[in-house]
């Protein structure tokens, strides 16, 4: 059957009440100063070769600007329809689609009285539908889904929308006929954030820490722009609040929706069940979907259960507004949020709410009640709270040294010898305790940590044996300890060339974590890295890279992040590989005794070959300014004050400078800079 316009109820394509405006059939003009995003343009050029590409993100992520930039840069033919430009009914939607296609391919067969379009095109054509969320409200999803099924192979469709459309995407994903670009990919990276700041602030941007802005705004382009406006003075900060009040609260029209937005903002994540319990409603799922369709700045969560969250700047604005208009209500909602999150097993979030509402003691009591669950979920920072349980208190009285060792373990961080020593001691002391959940969990945690420390220290064979033993002895429901032990065993097996053992152990790690729903932390990151090693071994570098990136998102632990970055460097080309290795070196500088990671980094650097001698141009302007001040007697804190940036920013720049100069200290960096004549005049912010 040859058609591009097949409907559940066949209808004629009639013109809209008013003629289609020419502006609806072309991309909007690009504003001066638009930040170039070549990485996304390349990504779009690749994705749009398939039948369907969905670009879905809340308001303020630059979707339309990106697509307009791509349409201007691509050599392919593009038909554009701004289907969100005005109130469309279904007939108006199809008339606008017809006009866009007819303009791109005259004589195609779309006319006021057509029902069908021949299933041929003279050349490939990409149809961009911008503002599709507006069309969704007119009920075109089912018919448009059929349109996609019957479209000719040369037609490629891009749907730009604020929320995931009802176009049978799960089925299309399974078939490989849908590509997606979401809020995560559209978020600004550090360089892009700096470019926005320069565009808005000009020379004043040198006094703003772009990395801090990127972290605070989570890369949300609209928030970066607003943060730039707010940077110079408080009056512009008020302008930001006025903007959000207008675009978010006043735009809803319905008082019920506005109240929902304000009151739900006390939550970190917005799911139907949490919002129902918090607000004592039964329709929160419908409310959330309605707000998403209206573009209410909600970002979808990933993973089972899903739901949404507010970008940080929006959440902060809504909470401040709630506290301003209803302070008593805000405190009551914090108490309810603590209960709702506790019931949902979100203990750390529950503790945060309890702390805001009733202080540190209330938060501590809540965490003590759930110490077993927290440690099983991989939150070893709460390991000492096991001693607040009845069984733990008895153990502490019997073995007073246990508490001190748990404290050393928690604070060892990525000091591998300290971690190993504390784990050994905890394993010995906990073995003397009576049987029970506390003893079992302490044993599992200590043994998994010991195996990890052995792996990081470079004793791979012993690490494999210790990790296998730890996994076999762990309670199957221990969650993170069992998952970490299996993941370490898998990584060690891969390093030893035992591929037949690595694959099933990586699956065992994933299974142990899934049993408790553990999706973040060191154990989750190591499980991803174990699967990445297996994927690389079977010849799937794309999957290996995806898993390494997933591991980086799951943890802040330096050793695990170094593992992931070094693996990424091995998978990537020369330029990106060097960038990954540079990041790995920064993470590795926070570790002690991680001999395996040093070896892996050295192996990757050897494969890439030697760097060219450092020239002045290889240091960024910010690094040159820091280097200039490193040559003075100022401390790093004083340098930070001089440049109006954070101390951590100065430390990070210093580490990068040392790395680029091939030195290990400030004194050596100064000597190398003088020898290479790298420092000239000038000053300013980083």
Distance CA 512, CA 604 (A): 31
34-48, 221-235, 354-368, 649-663 — which one is most confidently predicted on average?
354-368
Cα angle for residues 154, 131, 24 (degrees, 5° grid) = 75
**Average pLDDT over every residue of 376-404:** 85
Taking phi over 0 as left and psi of -120 to 50 as alpha, with beta for the rest, 621 belongs to: alpha
- Which domain CATH number covers 585? 1.25.40.10
Nearest to 541 by CA among 569, 579, 519, 563: 569
Q: Please give the average per-residue pLDDT across 202-230, as a whole number.
A: 77
Same domain for 604 and 624? no
Per DSSP, the residues of 249-288 read: IGGG--HHHHHHHHHHTTSSSB-HHHHHHHHT-S-HHHHH
pLDDT tens, 92-111?
888 888 888 888 888 776 54
Identify the weakest region by mean pLDDT among 187-196, 403-412, 559-568.
Answer: 187-196
- One domain for residues 512 and 623: no
Check whether residue 516 and residue 595 sit in a common domain.
yes
- For 596, the token pair is 């395996």
CA-closest candidate to residue 510, choices 532, 527, 529, 489: 527
Of 608, 636, 667, the residue that ends a domain is 608
The stretch 62-75 carries a mean pLDDT of 93
- 194 in a structural domain: no
Cβ-contact 193, 213 below 8 angstroms: yes
The pLDDT of 666-679, averaged and rounded, is: 79
For residues 166 and 293, the answer to whether their CB atoms sit within 8 Å is no
The answer on 531 and 500 residing in a single domain is yes
- 124, 153 Cβ separation under 8 angstroms: no
Q: Is the pLDDT of residue 469 over 50?
A: yes
**Beta carbons of 179 and 44 less than 8 angstroms apart:** no
**Residues contacting residue 242 through CB under 8 Å, at least 6 positions apart:** none
In a domain, 14, yes or no: no
Task: Provide the pLDDT for residue 231.
Answer: 61
Do 623 and 520 share a structural domain? no
535 and 623 co-located in one domain: no
What pLDDT shows up at residue 65?
92
In-domain check, residue 148: yes
Maximum mean pLDDT: which of 92-101, 118-127, 165-174, 331-340? 331-340
CA distance 547 to 533: 9
11 pLDDT higher than 50: no
The yes-or-no verdict on residue 42 having pLDDT over 80 is yes
pLDDT digits (tens, 9 = 90+) for 279-320: 999 999 999 888 877 767 787 776 555 788 888 778 888 999
Average pLDDT taken over every residue of the chain: 83
Q: Which tens digit of pLDDT belongs to each residue from 484-503?
A: 999 999 999 999 989 899 99
The pLDDT, as a whole number, for residue 303 is: 55
Helices 460-473 and 499-516 cross at an angle (nearest 10°) of 40
CA gyration radius, the chain: 28
Whether residue 602 sits in one domain with residue 621: no
Which of these three, 136, 163, 186, is where a domain ends? 186
At 617 the pLDDT is 46
Three-state SS for 394-418 is HHHHHCCHHHHHHHHHHHHCCEHHH
Query: What one-character-per-residue DSSP string does 361-403 give?
Result: HHHHHHHHHTHHHHHHTT-GGGGGGGGGSHHHHHHHHH-THHH
DSSP assigned state of 119: S
Q: Quick one: pLDDT at residue 425?
A: 93
For residue 1, the model assigns a pLDDT of 31
Residue 424 domain-assigned (yes or no): yes
Confidence at 534, pLDDT banded by 50, 70, 90? very high
Closest residue by Cα to residue 210 from 223, 191, 225, 232: 191
Instruction: Mark whether 545 and 645 lie in a shared domain.
Output: no
Is 165 a member of any domain? Answer: yes
pLDDT band, residue 85 (cuts 50/70/90): low
538 found inside a domain: yes
Comparing CA positions, the residue from 9, 288, 70, 25 lying closest to residue 164 is 288
Does residue 260 sit within a domain?
A: no
Same domain for 491 and 426, yes or no, is: yes
The whole model's pTM is what?
Answer: 0.67
Task: Report whether 35 contacts 199 (CB < 8 A).
Answer: yes
Q: What are 238-242's contacts with CB under 8 Å, separation 24+?
A: 240/313, 240/317, 241/317, 241/320, 241/321
**Boundary residue ending a domain (159, 186, 213):** 186
Centre a 10 Å sphere on the Cβ of residue 621 and count the other Cβ atoms it contains.
11
Residue 632 forms part of a structural domain: yes
Number of domains in the chain: 3
**Is pLDDT of 374 > 90?**
yes
Domain of residue 563, residue span:
373-608
Residue 190: which of 383, 39, 5 has the closest Cα? 39
The enclosing domain of 658 has a CATH number of 1.10.10.10
Q: Which residue has the higher pLDDT, 603 or 371?
A: 371
How many Å apart are CA 261 and CA 243, to the nearest integer? 16
Tell me if 96 sits within 8 A of 83, measured CB to CB: yes
Please indicate, yes or no, whether residues 559 and 584 belong to a single structural domain of this protein.
Answer: yes
d(CA 486, CA 518): 14
Short-list 162, 9, 166, CA closest to 90: 9
CA distance 474 to 446: 11
For 127, the enclosing helix (H) or strand (E) is strand 125-130
In a shared domain, residues 538 and 452: yes
pLDDT of 646: 60
Give the CATH number for residue 87. Answer: 3.40.50.300
**DSSP code, position 108:** S
**pLDDT over 90 at 239, yes or no:** no
Residues 498 and 632 in one domain: no
CB-based burial, 264-289: b 16+ in 10 Å, e otherwise: bbbbbbbbbebbbbbbebeebeebbe
At residue 17, the pLDDT reads 43
């Amino acid at each position: 059957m040859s058609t591009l316009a097949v409907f559940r109820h066949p209808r004629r394509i009639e013109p809209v009440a008013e003629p289609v405006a020419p502006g609806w059939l072309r991309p909007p003009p690009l504003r001066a100063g638009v930040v170039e995003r070549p990485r996304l343009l390349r990504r779009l050029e690749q994705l749009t070769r398939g039948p369907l590409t969905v670009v879905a993100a809340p308001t303020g992520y630059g979707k339309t600007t990106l697509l307009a930039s791509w349409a201007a840069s691509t050599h392919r033919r593009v038909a554009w329809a701004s289907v969100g430009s005005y109130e469309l009914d279904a007939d108006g939607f199809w008339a606008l689609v017809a006009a866009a296609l007819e303009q791109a391919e005259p004589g195609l067969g779309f006319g006021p009285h057509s029902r069908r379009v021949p299933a041929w095109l003279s050349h490939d054509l990409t149809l961009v539908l911008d503002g599709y969320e507006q069309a969704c409200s007119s009920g075109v999803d089912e018919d448009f889904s059929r349109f996609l099924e019957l479209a000719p192979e040369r037609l490629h469709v891009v749907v730009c929308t604020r929320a995931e459309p009802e176009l049978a995407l799960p089925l299309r994903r399974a078939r490989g006929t849908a590509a997606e670009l979401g809020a995560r990919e559209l978020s600004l990276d550090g360089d892009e954030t700096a470019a926005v700041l320069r565009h808005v602030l000009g020379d004043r941007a040198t006094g703003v820490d772009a990395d801090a802005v990127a972290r605070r705004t989570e890369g949300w382009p609209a928030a970066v722009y607003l943060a730039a406006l707010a940077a110079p003075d408080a009056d512009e900060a008020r302008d930001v609040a006025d903007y959000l009040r207008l675009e978010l609260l006043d735009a809803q029209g319905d008082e019920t929706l506005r109240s929902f937005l304000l009151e739900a903002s006390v939550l970190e994540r917005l799911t139907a069940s949490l919002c129902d319990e918090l607000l004592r409603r039964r329709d929160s799922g419908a409310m959330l979907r309605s707000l998403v369709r209206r573009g209410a700045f909600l970002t979808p969560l990933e993973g089972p259960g899903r739901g949404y969250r507010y970008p940080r700047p929006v959440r902060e604005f809504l909470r401040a507004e709630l506290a301003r208009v209803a302070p008593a209500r805000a405190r009551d909602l914090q108490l309810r949020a603590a209960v709702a999150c506790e019931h949902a097993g979100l203990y750390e979030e529950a503790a945060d709410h309890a702390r805001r509402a009733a202080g540190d003691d209330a938060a501590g009591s809540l965490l003590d009640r759930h110490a077993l669950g927290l440690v099983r979920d991989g939150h070893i920072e709460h390991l000492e709270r096991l001693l607040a349980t009845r069984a733990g208190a008895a153990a502490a009285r019997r073995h007073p040294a246990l508490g001190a060792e748990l404290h050393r373990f928690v604070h060892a961080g990525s000091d591998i010898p300290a971690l190993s020593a504390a784990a050994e001691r905890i394993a010995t002391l906990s073995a003397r305790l009576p049987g029970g959940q506390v003893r079992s969990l302490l044993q599992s945690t200590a043994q998994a940590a010991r195996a990890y420390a052995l792996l990081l220290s470079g004793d791979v064979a012993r690490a494999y044996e210790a990790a296998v033993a730890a996994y076999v002895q762990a309670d199957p429901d221990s969650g993170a300890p069992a998952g970490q032990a299996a993941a370490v065993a898998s990584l060690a097996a891969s390093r030893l060339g035992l591929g037949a053992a690595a694959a099933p152990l990586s699956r065992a790690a994933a299974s142990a974590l899934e049993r408790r729903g553990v999706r973040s932390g060191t154990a989750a990151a190591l499980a991803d890295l174990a699967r990445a090693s297996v994927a690389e071994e079977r010849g799937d570098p794309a999957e290996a890279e995806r898993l390494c990136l997933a591991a980086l998102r799951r943890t802040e632990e330096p050793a695990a992040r170094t593992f992931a970055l070094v693996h990424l460097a091995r998978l990537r080309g020369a330029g990106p590989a060097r960038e990954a290795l540079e990041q790995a070196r920064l993470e590795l500088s926070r570790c002690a005794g991680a001999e395996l990671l040093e070896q892996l980094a050295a192996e990757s650097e050897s494969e890439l070959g030697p760097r060219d001698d450092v020239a002045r141009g290889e240091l960024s302007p910010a690094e040159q300014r820091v280097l200039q001040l490193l040559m003075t007697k100022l401390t790093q804190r004083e340098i930070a004050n001089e440049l109006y940036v954070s101390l951590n920013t100065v430390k990070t720049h210093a580490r990068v400078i040392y790395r680029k100069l091939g030195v290990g200290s400030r004194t050596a960096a100064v000597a190398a800079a003088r020898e290479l004549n790298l420092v000239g005049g000038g000053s300013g912010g980083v």
